[in-house]
Structure 1
Amino acid sequence: MGASQAGRGGLVALTACIGIWLVGTGSGEPVGPPLPSPAEALSGTGQARYPGSIDPLSGSPPTRIRIPAIRVDAPLTGLGLARDGSLDVPPPDRRDLAGWYRNGTTPGAVGTAVVVGHVDHASGPAVFYRLGALRRGAAIEVRRADGRTAVFTVHAVEVYEARRFPDARVYGPSPRAELRVITCGGGFSPRTGYQGNVVVFAHLTGTY
């Protein structure tokens, strides 16, 4: 995602952040998806943040994402931009579906690729409900249309308030092949839904 779009990136998953399931239960309790530990936040600079990085692949559309540590195995659909300039989201009735920004970097190619998905659904948790439980070193596998699977290693997991979403930090360009996986998170209000986003930062470390 380019810098011009990153300026509006704080809206990236807000349309998926209503918290349909929790609203439906009338829950006022502090329950919901897991949040990342402060120990998983970004730290260090340069190559220290990218152990095991390999050279980027050529571009190819992704077709599926697997995150074994949180039992995610989901198809991917291409997403564009909504009328307000925010990134669109998968259909709300498809809790098993994730999406990638089709006008940006394809996962595995040089730059920052973006994948988003719902945190919950009217009847319960959705595809990225447990995203905040990921830890550094976890693997993310993205199958591509060219038959190759790009393997990413998580180097940070963070949660941000929507009004303080760090566009450049999340969407900024990279000379490496990087991936961001985003869903809703943070505090929850029955009136307005989730108050922010969980963001996973990962870099390419293998292929098969």
Structure 2
Amino acid sequence: MSRTPRFKSRAPHLLRRTALPVYACLTLTALTALTGCSDASPSTPPAAARGTEPATTTPRTPASGPGTASASASGSASAKSAAPPVHVSIPSLGINSAVMRLGLNPDRTVEVPPADKGMTVGWYTGGSVPGQPGPAVLIGHNDTRYGRAVFHDLKKIAKGADIAVRDDRGTEIHFEVTDRETASKKAFPTARVYGPTDTRALRLITCDGSFDAAGHPVDNLIVYAERK
């Protein structure tokens, strides 16, 4: 007797307000209100991302999940001077999306695209501008209560795949996928994703993984790419 594919048993999940980036996705059931990806204990991004002096020399990842992000100083500077992204496409996956800006909420957690914009990718403005030195971070939903979202098929992306980001001046910048990683929310590679780098890097982040006993997907999917 064949087993039912696992994905058919999953309830839709989405992102919502959370510390950088997405750390757990909650499910929608008949007995619960709609919820989304969140960190159980979201924390404030490090000072490097806020433009203030750091309280400690090394950002720490909370035990409940990666609640901090280390944005390079060059990334913060480039966000002010370089042309911001307005569109992203991944031809191999058929992804074409406008790009909205994501900042910080009043509680210092990162914004994510609202559920009704599930097919829109968000760019975290506290990091680098895509194409500039440092890590540029794009966040997208996997699923929302409205159905499949923009990064639903991101897990299918292959090494070497092309990612094209167009800025508001009409310049298209191409990135090549170098790696893909599924990371536990309890051991998120904060430094690897958000840490300073001299390369012109791009990170794509969404929800992934099996559900735990509480109905939270236990992982995040991270795609790493570098400018061609």
Query: TM-score, normalised to structure 2's length?
Result: 0.66
Matches within 5 A, 1:42-61: 59-61=82-84
Q: Please, which of 186, 204, 207 is the counterpart of residue 227 of structure 2?
A: 204
Q: Residues 83 and 161 from structure 1, CA distance in 2 versus in 1: closer, same or farther, beyond 3 angstroms?
A: farther
Query: 1:12–1:88: 8 Å Cα contact kept in structure 2?
Result: no
Structure 1 segments, 4+ long, off by >4 Å, are none
Partner secondary structure for residue 119 of structure 2: coil
**Cα deviation 1:129-182 (Å, max 9, x = unaligned):** 111111100000001012101100000000101111010011111112110000
> How far is the alpha carbon of 1:192 from its aligned partner?
3.3
The structure carrying a bigger strand percent of its residues is: 1
Query: 1:19–1:120: 8 Å Cα contact kept in structure 2?
Result: no
Q: Residues 10 and 86 from structure 1, CA distance in 2 versus in 1: closer, same or farther, beyond 3 angstroms?
A: closer
**Cα deviation 1:32-63 (Å, max 9, x = unaligned):** xxxxxxxxxxxxxxxxxxxxxxxx9x721000
Aligned residue number for residue 164 of structure 2: 141
1:87 aligns with 2:115: no
Query: 2:27–2:216: 8 Å Cα contact kept in structure 1?
Result: yes
Aligned residue number for residue 14 of structure 1: 23
Gaps of 5+ in 2: 1-17, 33-77
**Cα deviation 1:94-133 (Å, max 9, x = unaligned):** 1111100112211011111000010001132100011111
**Distance in structure 2 (CA, Å) of the matches to 1:167 and 1:104:** 13
Q: Which has the higher Rg, Structure 1 or Structure 2?
A: 2
Aligned residue number for residue 194 of structure 2: 171
Identity of aligned residues (%): 36
Matches within 5 A, 1:52-201: 59-189=82-212, 191-201=214-224
Equivalent residue pairs, number: 163
Query: 1:10–1:165: 8 Å Cα contact kept in structure 2?
Result: no
Query: 1:63–1:143: 8 Å Cα contact kept in structure 2?
Result: yes
Letter in structure 1 aligned against 2:22: A
**Distance in structure 1 (CA, Å) of the matches to 2:82 and 2:210:** 37
> How far is the alpha carbon of 1:193 from its aligned partner?
2.7
Query: 2:115–2:146: 8 Å Cα contact kept in structure 1?
Result: no
**Distance in structure 2 (CA, Å) of the matches to 1:11 and 1:18:** 16
> How far is the alpha carbon of 1:10 from its aligned partner?
6.7
Q: Residues 192 and 84 from structure 1, CA distance in 2 versus in 1: closer, same or farther, beyond 3 angstroms?
A: farther
**Distance in structure 2 (CA, Å) of the matches to 1:19 and 1:160:** 19
> How far is the alpha carbon of 1:185 from its aligned partner?
0.6
Aligned residue number for residue 62 of structure 2: none
> How far is the alpha carbon of 1:186 from its aligned partner?
1.5
Q: Residues 190 and 117 from structure 1, CA distance in 2 versus in 1: closer, same or farther, beyond 3 angstroms?
A: farther
**Distance in structure 2 (CA, Å) of the matches to 1:103 and 1:10:** 12
**Distance in structure 1 (CA, Å) of the matches to 2:118 and 2:27:** 12
